[in-house]
Structure 1
């Protein structure tokens, strides 16, 4: 297999991955709290090959005697675009949005996770009918922290209205109008290194196996605010992603044409040898 075929095949593989990433961004352009993904490309292998013989010592030669020999490019790191999405007013007391840095801490199948999706709803407690939890549409329970810093699923009194201030302090109001400050506040963690998280289904981010929690997650920033009755929209620029989709498709077509041309040249070479 010649070098041009290898380069084309490697490039097609990387471009296909980029195409899937762009398609994922477009599909989630209307997903609450979705953060778009970005990718970089890098050379697979590049070497400088020297031209043999007299070609390297021709009189009056200006260009160098070597030439670059590469094997295409592959998709490298995939990073998360952490830019703020547009705030959308819903006036629903269980809808929460984060203004600034941070993510809602949630419990996903008993494991710690994080999300920017704040479309929560009440879920009754299975063991205590007087209590309820707040959960996402995927069933991830919103976490809360008490004054001692202990983290656990946020418990709220059943059949009451709640008010959540910009720092996550939760107050409940019963039918008689009595206001109670709950011992738990909404847990919002500042993600120090977003690249250290793994994106799962349902707009959920998890810590990779073996990673240190303290290396990725910190406490809520003083400038971060929680907005009750709002949802954060996706930060995907649909027009930019559509333009990127066209560019990626054209690049894939060019790489495929290169592969086809290389195959034709090999066929011609084999026929000449025969």
Structure 2
């Protein structure tokens, strides 16, 4: 029963972590340019089962599973027109770059703002400066017409990690990027989240059932242990 108890606890913990991933996806279904995450699990330690006389058999018992990592699905969402001149979307691969005080960060969200900073109008996002293809902050000198926003394409998108506020941080010091030549910047458009609500609901129901099953195993194992302890007194 000890094995059943700890295996079920591991399963319930994995279910909770998976639920956190699903909840974050569902919470951002209306966030422009948001990319959903997918949980990846790995098996925990397997041990050989011993026979009645203590000999090792070919049978193995698992110890459950754990959340190994959460991968971001960078599949493009649908583009839709807003008519707002400071809204931008990328048709194709790549990211917009946003300069903050400490570092540059990246996003697929394009709901930018025209912000007055010391008398000059900058294109900003989440408090940072949106960069052009020369990696310089964009100044709106002649209004919002014909703004040239840079699109930065990474050799490997796994070099980026979600930071929050619809931004990505570079986590690999050797990450390589270039200015995308085959992607198209669409002014007056935004990109929808790529979260599929129906898909997330199916996963949510599956996780709820799995969590309930693990909870029942934990309760049953605990009751059996209590019965055994009472009989041994």
Separation in structure 2 between the aligned mates of residue 109 and residue 28 of structure 1, nearest angstrom: 26
The question of 1:154 aligning with 2:138 is answered yes
CA deviations over 1:166-214 (Å, ceiling 9, x no partner): xxxx3xxxxxxxxxxxxxxx22111232222221121111123xx31xx
Cα distance in 1, alignment partners of residues 185 and 110 from structure 2: 10
Tell whether the 8 Å contact from 2:130 to 2:138 is kept in structure 1 after alignment: yes
Corresponding position of 1:231: 190
Secondary structure, counterpart of 2:104 in structure 1: strand
Q: Distance in 1 between matches of 2:16 and 2:177?
A: 35
CA separation of 1:221 and 1:161: change in aligned 2, threshold 3 A: closer
C-alpha contact 2:133 2:179 (8 A) present in aligned 1: no
> How has the CA–CA distance of structure 1 residues 258 and 54 changed in structure 2, closer, same or farther, with 3 Å as cutoff?
closer
2:122 paired residue among 91, 110, 133:
133
Shift of 1:106: 0.6
Structure 2 runs not aligned, ≥5 long: none
Structure 1 spans left out of the alignment, 5+ residues: 57-64, 165-169, 171-185
Q: Which entry has the higher C-alpha Rg, 1 or 2?
A: 1
CA 1:103–1:217 in structure 2 vs 1: closer, same or farther (change >3 Å)?
farther
Is 2:90 aligned against 1:98?
Answer: yes
C-alpha distance in structure 1 between counterparts of 2:167 and 2:73, whole Å: 15
2 CA distance for matches of 1:36 and 1:272? 52
- In the TM superposition, residue 25 of structure 1 has moved relative to its aligned partner by 0.4
Q: Which residue of 2 aligns with 1:37?
A: 37
Q: Cα distance 1:110–1:124, how it changes in 2: closer, same or farther (>3 A)?
A: farther
TM-score where L is the length of structure 2: 0.93
Judge which range, 217-226 or 110-119, deviates more. Answer: 217-226
SS in 2 for 1:3: helix
- What is the TM-score of this pair, normalised by structure 1? 0.80
